[in-house]
Chain A
Amino acid sequence: MTARDSAIPLAGGAAAARGLTLRGGVGLKPEHFREILETRPDIGFFEIHAENYMVAGGPFHEYLGRIRQCHALSIHGVGLSIGGESPLDLAHLDRLAHLLDRYQPESFSEHLAWASHGEAFLNDLLPLPYHAATLDRVCEHVDQVQNHLKRNLLLENPATYVEFADSSMTETAFITEIVQRSGCHLLLDVNNVHVSCINHHRDPHDYIRALPLEAVRQIHLAGFASDVDAAGDTLLIDSHGAPVAQAVWDLYAFTLDLLGPMPTLIERDNDIPAFPVLLAEAQRAERMMCAAGAAIPRDRVAA
């Protein structure tokens, strides 16, 4: 379980088949490229946003190529618009296939959300209603992605601020159906669970227990910002701009009790601190994983 394990050259698809080790990772930021290469931190994995590396050449590929030689990698897409009304963008799917082929990541994930409509890319993870028609569409898109990329997708639960009058299923029932029909895996974003459950007045523990936990392959942790809605009730915003909050660490501990150790990413996209600050958060996740791994295993809870 050292970072050096993944320095072994990988045959096509081997990394994906093996998956990430049960360790902490952080998002790879250009600000940290050089420090990472100079210090070779002992870290479980790095994660990149796929779209940032869909460029022809230059420093991003140069640094990622060198960092990839020493570290495990998760590629996280933010632009596929799996929840979109429009058909998937095939050019974008090809760009993804090319990127995955080039870097052979241990993990590939995307979101239960939409981001494109018509010709416009809106650059946010937008919410969708949960009913039979949207379920069919999302499952069709997940199938198409998995067939095109010839690998399992990890689908991430969203952070949302509104709900829809025409939803006829809960989010967890919707996700459970997607997993059953498509065979995709889950990326359980514990911060998103906390944010959405506060925003929609639900119990985050019930939410997590209702997910098909056997499909979870990775966890995300992040920081949020706090606002209020029109009634003055708390409205949390998934900002990725702050350290992981204590409430989210607590929910993470609860999740580890159910799942056992799980590859865990510290996400930070705004107000990016020095690398050691992020590394320390990943190490805290690892200490909690060790504690959970040492505990008496509990039954895994399926929905």
Chain B
Amino acid sequence: MSAHQIFSDALLTDGAACPPGLTTWNQSDPERRFAVYRNNVIVSLIDALADSFPVTQELVGEEFFRAMARVFARAHPPRTPVLACYGELFPGFIEAFPPAASLAYLADVARLEMLRVQAFHAADAEALGVDRIAALLADETQLGECRFSLQPSLGMLRSGYAVASLWAAHQAQDCAAALGEVDPLTAETALVLRVGLEVEIFRISTGAACFIDQLLQGLAFGPAAEQGLAADAEFDLASTLGLLIQGGALCAVTTHRSTTS
């Protein structure tokens, strides 16, 4: 095994001996000094996860979160020096982590926080101008045939739990009171979108989620709206469209005649 493989394994493996061939000027046991590297590696990765998953941490407390993150980071160290989106595998890990099983919604809250991080760093795209949108809305026949490109930052999470409300409660001044209003077992769909420089989370209906999904898959506006209605009789196209327009989510459009962005 190569020297760096041994060094690397010793850094990441719980209870591993320090690598051979290390020396110290005073002949002290190098283990104590090697522990500085071990600590730097694991603590920096735990800190990176704590930065990206603050509500997940609040839900389980700092001590539990850091212990869980430690197990995760050792098993799944980053695969790239770009750590901005480190932790993509963390929600799946949480779901299968027995000590966290009592908090069934924890993995979905982590999924939502990962979507926030991804939205924060997603590519920039200019939203369609107000005039262009007004013109499209004025011609209903043409609107039905339009295919929209949505913001690269847009993400959705369908959850069996009240993820968006739980997340919002953790942003409140009085978190405990806000949480008292939330029934965690209510299914919710969250829309994540960067609006300007801020990432926002909106709770949307099943129909809206279906409609947006169809737009993302390249379906034209008319058929996408029909699918939304088929999925959810209460689907409110006008308010969903209003949300997408206000959030600047529509950033390019293809009509059967032309493409504008």
Which residues of chain A come closer than 8 Å to B21, judged between CB atoms?
A: 129, 164-166
Which residues of chain B come closer than 8 Å to A201, judged between CB atoms?
A: 25-26
Q: Specify which of A86, A95, A235 is in contact with B82 (CB 8 Å cutoff).
A: A95
A57 touches B7 (CB 8 A): no
Which residues of chain B come closer than 8 Å to A95, judged between CB atoms?
A: 82
Q: Specify which of B29, B78, B84, B120 is in contact with A52 (CB 8 Å cutoff).
A: B84
Which residues of chain A come closer than 8 Å to B33, judged between CB atoms?
A: 161-162, 199, 229-230, 235
Which residues of chain A come closer than 8 Å to B171, judged between CB atoms?
A: none
The minimal Cβ–Cβ distance linking A99 to chain B, given in whole angstroms, is 11
Q: How many A-B residue pairs have CB under 8 A?
A: 143
Which residues of chain B come closer than 8 Å to A230, judged between CB atoms?
A: 28-33
Tell me whether A122 and B121 are in contact in the complex, defined as CB-CB below 8 angstroms, given that A55-B84, A58-B194 are known contacts: no
A 234-277 binary contact with B (CB < 8 Å = 1; else 0): 01010000000000000000000000000000000000000000
Q: How far is the CA of A127 from the CA of B23 in the complex (A)?
A: 12
B 1-21 binary contact with A (CB < 8 Å = 1; else 0): 011110110011000000001
Which residues of chain B come closer than 8 Å to A229, judged between CB atoms?
A: 24, 26, 28, 32-33
Which residues of chain B come closer than 8 Å to A59, judged between CB atoms?
A: 120, 197
A92 touches B26 (CB 8 A): no
Q: Is B122 an interface residue (CB 8 A)?
A: yes
Closest to B20 in A: A165
Which residues of chain B come closer than 8 Å to A122, judged between CB atoms?
A: 8, 11-12, 41, 77
The minimal Cβ–Cβ distance linking B149 to chain A, given in whole angstroms, is 15
Which residues of chain B come closer than 8 Å to A86, judged between CB atoms?
A: 4
B36 touches A51 (CB 8 A): no
Which residues of chain B come closer than 8 Å to A166, judged between CB atoms?
A: 21
Closest to B33 in A: A161
Closest to B48 in A: A123
Q: Is B37 an interface residue (CB 8 A)?
A: yes
A 72-97 binary contact with B (CB < 8 Å = 1; else 0): 00000011110011100100100100
Q: Is A120 an interface residue (CB 8 A)?
A: yes
Chain B, 46-62, CB within 8 A of any chain A CB: 48
Closest to B47 in A: A270
Closest to A83 in B: B4
B37 touches A231 (CB 8 A): no
Which residues of chain A come closer than 8 Å to B81, judged between CB atoms?
A: 51, 78-81, 89, 92, 115-116, 121, 123
Which residues of chain A come closer than 8 Å to B32, judged between CB atoms?
A: 229-230, 235
Closest to A270 in B: B47
The minimal Cβ–Cβ distance linking B199 to chain A, given in whole angstroms, is 9
A58 touches B122 (CB 8 A): yes
B4 touches A121 (CB 8 A): no
Q: How far is the CA of A274 from the CA of B31 in the complex (A)?
A: 37
Q: Specify which of B2, B83, B121, B125 is in contact with A85 (CB 8 Å cutoff).
A: B2
Q: Size class of A's contact patch?
A: 35 or more
A161 touches B34 (CB 8 A): yes
A120 touches B83 (CB 8 A): no
Q: How far is the CA of A231 from the CA of B24 in the complex (A)?
A: 10
B34 touches A123 (CB 8 A): no
Q: How far is the CA of A95 from the CA of B80 in the complex (A)?
A: 11
Q: How far is the CA of A94 from the CA of B41 in the complex (A)?
A: 25
Among A51, A59, A78, chain B packs the most CB atoms within 10 A around the CB of A59
B 103-147 binary contact with A (CB < 8 Å = 1; else 0): 000000000000000001111110000000000000000000000
Q: Is B152 an interface residue (CB 8 A)?
A: yes
Tell me whether A123 and B2 are in contact in the complex, defined as CB-CB below 8 angstroms, given that A79-B81, A231-B28 are known contacts: no
The minimal Cβ–Cβ distance linking A66 to chain B, given in whole angstroms, is 11
Q: Is B217 an interface residue (CB 8 A)?
A: no
Q: How far is the CA of A52 from the CA of B31 in the complex (A)?
A: 31
B152 touches A165 (CB 8 A): no
Q: How far is the CA of A127 from the CA of B37 in the complex (A)?
A: 9
A124 touches B84 (CB 8 A): no
A163 touches B84 (CB 8 A): no
B 58-84 binary contact with A (CB < 8 Å = 1; else 0): 000000000000000000011111111
A58 touches B120 (CB 8 A): yes
List 18 other contacts, CB 8 Å, given A57-B125, A117-B7, A119-B79.
A51-B81, A56-B122, A57-B124, A57-B152, A85-B3, A116-B81, A120-B78, A123-B81, A126-B7, A127-B37, A161-B34, A162-B33, A163-B23, A230-B28, A230-B32, A235-B33, A235-B36, A237-B36
A-B contact pairs, 29 of them (CB 8 A): A55-B121, A57-B122, A58-B122, A58-B124, A58-B194, A58-B197, A84-B4, A85-B2, A95-B82, A114-B4, A118-B5, A120-B8, A120-B77, A121-B83, A123-B44, A123-B81, A129-B3, A162-B33, A163-B22, A163-B25, A199-B33, A200-B25, A229-B26, A229-B32, A231-B24, A231-B27, A231-B28, A235-B33, A235-B36
Which residues of A line the B interface, CB within 8 A?
A: 51-52, 54-62, 78-81, 84-86, 89, 92, 95, 114-124, 126-127, 129, 161-166, 199-201, 227, 229-231, 233, 235, 237
Which residues of B line the A interface, CB within 8 A?
A: 2-5, 7-8, 11-12, 21-34, 36-37, 40-41, 44-45, 48, 77-85, 120-125, 152-153, 194, 197
